[in-house]
Structures are given as C-alpha cells and as structure tokens.
Amino acid sequence: MQLPVGFEQFHRQTFFNYQFNRAHGLGLADRNDLYSAGSRVRSAADCVTVFETLSRRAATNGQDRHAAGYMRLAEFFTPPQSPAKIERYRRFRALFDHAFVGDGMTRHPVPYAGAALPAYSLRSAESSGRGTVLVHGGFDSLIEEFYAIWQRIAAAGFDVIAFEGPGQGGARALEGLTFDHDWEKPVKAVLDHFRIESAAMVGISMGGYWAVRAASRERRIDKVVAWPPVYDWLRRVPAPLRGATRMMLRRRRFMRWSVRTRARLAPALRHVVDHALYLVDSEDPVSVVDWFLGMNADHLGSERVTQHVLLLCGEHDSFQPRVLARAQAEALTAASSVTTRVFTKAENADQHCQIGNVDLACRALTRWLQNPATATTGCVI
C-alpha cells in the first residue's frame, strides 16, 4: 500500500485538519475526498454525517480501503457516550477485514483479566524472519489504523503482533476493559499467549510512553521504540513553573470547573476530555487530570530500561513536542543504546507521528530494528 507525502491543509481548524491528515497519511482516505469534506465540515457532528456518506459511496464503488478509513473518521468523531459509537466501530472493523482479508493477517483474542485483548498477527515477508515486533497505539487510536506500518515492518523481515491494551479500541468498546498505565500487564499477556521469548516493541503516539514503561519491567522485550516519547507531561511546562503547576493541579474543585469550562470552549480539548473519561469509565472531569498525571517520570522507570531504544519525533509535533524526547533520552541512563531521530518540515515529516511522510519514518524504524547496534547512539535533537 503506497502512502502519500505531504501534510495538507484540509481544514482551517487544526484539530480537524490533523485528523483528516491522519487518515490520508496512513493510506485510508483520498486527498480530493478530504478537501471536499473539509469544505462541508463545521463541527464534529458534521464529520460523522459527511464521512458516513463517503464510506457508503466508497464501498459501493469498490474502494474498500477508503470505505474503512471514512467509517473510522465517522466513528472517531462520534461521542463515546453515544450508542452509535460501538455500532460504527463494528462497521469499521468489518470494512477493514474486507479491505485487507487477503493480506495474510489473522485476528486473535488474547485472554486478559477475564476478557480479551484484540490482536492481529502478520507474518514476515521473508522466509527466514528477523524476529517478532509488537505494535500498539496510543490515546485514541485503533490498531487497525496502523496497518500500513505493520505491513512495512513485515516487509522488512519481521513477524508482527499488533494489539490493543485495556482502554484501547476493541478492548474498551467490546470487552469493557478500562485503562491501566502499567503496560507490562497486557504486554505479558500478549507474549505469553503467542509464546514469544524475545520481541521488539513499537509504541505509537502516547503508546511511546507505555512501550518504555513495559520495557522497564518485561525482559522479553529486547528493543523498544517510542514514536514519539511522552516521559512526563509536566516536562512540557518550563522548570520554574512546575511546582506552581503541581499545586494548581491538586486543587480538585478548581480543576473540575476548569476542565468543564475549557472543554466547552475548545473542540480539541472536548475530545480529549470525553475520550479520557471513556478510557477510565468516569464522569468526573478531574479524572482526566489524574489520568494524564499518571504518566510521569517516577511511574515510567526509565532508569530500569536496559534495552536498545529508538526515539522518533517531529520538530513541530504539537501533541508530544521535542522537549519530551530530549527529557526521555537523558533519563535512559542504563539503556544499551539510545538513538533519537528528529524528522523535519523539509522531509514533510515534522508533524505528530510523522503524518505527512509515514513511509520515511517506517524506513528509519525498520533499518534500526534490523540492526540497532550500528545506529548513531546519543541525542541528536
């Protein structure tokens, strides 16, 4: 599956524009369709209507990949509390299966906490494989979105296990599993289920945090990729202000009011708040603050990571900025090696998760996976 190069201006609102680019950059949407959709969208509700229509049209025209991608966008913009969200999620998975059924992937339910984690296996394109790579997503992703990435890892000679942990995708929607930052737990379940003794792991978006956390506790992980890192959300705040920020965040009544008020005013923040509450099955806005603060340097345990580590980041990533990658690199004091790759605007890869040139990022990723020991060690930010 070919991927486009370039980060487009599909919509004037940054949040909508990134989500449209996300579908486009991962090969799940047509450029012209997205420009047309952008001219008709004024709200998240508009996105649901527009992309459901596009999905039906694409399916009728035999454009299975785009039909799946548009249904995913419709599902993404459906509020978590709406009963229609699960229905659209099921329709997306059915369309995804139809689009990629002939590509050799197999879906597996991985037993976990009395329920199951969704996982897919995709065998290496080479007869003598280079090992296994685990892939998982982040905050609001579905693992199927990253099929183009699995495909490129498999083409580079690795068996791929792509999975969702508690709180993510089908684990939350179909199994009711709420989020747990202790990512070594689902990773252990996946490794045990597939009887894997050694594997690399790639955590995408906020998954970069959980991948490092799991690697610090699970020794069967031999290489780890944070694409990009989080390290500690408070490191986004300048050092002199962190103490005051912590004090403010402890004022729970104020934070409850602040989160509610700001979410009403900003569509992007509203999405973050609604989705975070969905992850933990809560209605209390302060739970959002608690969830994000749960991702911190003490919990992460970077000093316990002894594996080879690759950190991927974009120079203009507004979600997980470069300052977090720099802090993460410095904290990996016991790692066998730490390689940091910063992607630039000149490469069309400066945005979050290198949307705009995912193929370039995959080439950097797979070269490193094949031989991390020869990569440049150190922070190159």
Is residue 166 a contact partner of residue 178, using CB atoms and an 8 Å limit?
Answer: yes
The per-residue pLDDT for 166 is 98
Q: 105-112 and 115-122: which strand pairing? A: antiparallel
| Long-range contacts of 183-189, Cβ-Cβ distance < 8 Å, separation of 24 or more | 183/210, 183/211, 183/213, 183/214, 184/213, 184/214, 184/216, 184/217, 184/218, 185/112, 186/110, 186/112, 186/117, 187/134, 187/214, 187/218, 187/221, 188/218, 189/110, 189/111, 189/112, 189/117
Consecutive 10-residue runs of the chain (381 residues): their mean pLDDT? 97 97 98 98 96 98 97 97 96 96 90 98 86 97 98 97 98 97 98 98 98 98 98 89 83 91 89 96 95 96 98 97 97 97 98 98 97 63 38
The per-residue pLDDT for 115 is 98
- The last residue of one of the domains, among 96, 114, 138, is 96
Q: End-to-end distance of the chain based on CA atoms, in angstroms?
A: 31
Same domain, 129 and 159: yes
The per-residue pLDDT for 376 is 55
Got the DSSP string for 46-71?
Answer: HHHHHHHHHHHHHHHTT-HHHHHHHH
SS3 94: helix
Same domain, 209 and 335: yes
- Residue 101 tokens read as 């059924």
Domain total for the chain?
3
The per-residue pLDDT for 267 is 84
pTM for the model: 0.95
CATH of the domain at 86: 1.20.1440.110
Range of the domain at 283: 236-293
Beta bridge partners of 204: 227
Is 262 among the domain residues?
Answer: yes
Same domain, 25 and 140: no
Same domain, 250 and 324: no
Is 9 among the domain residues?
Answer: no
Same domain, 134 and 201: yes
Same domain, 45 and 171: no
Same domain, 280 and 359: no
The per-residue pLDDT for 375 is 61
Q: What is the pLDDT of residues 330-357, one digit of tens each?
A: 999 999 999 999 999 999 999 999 999 9
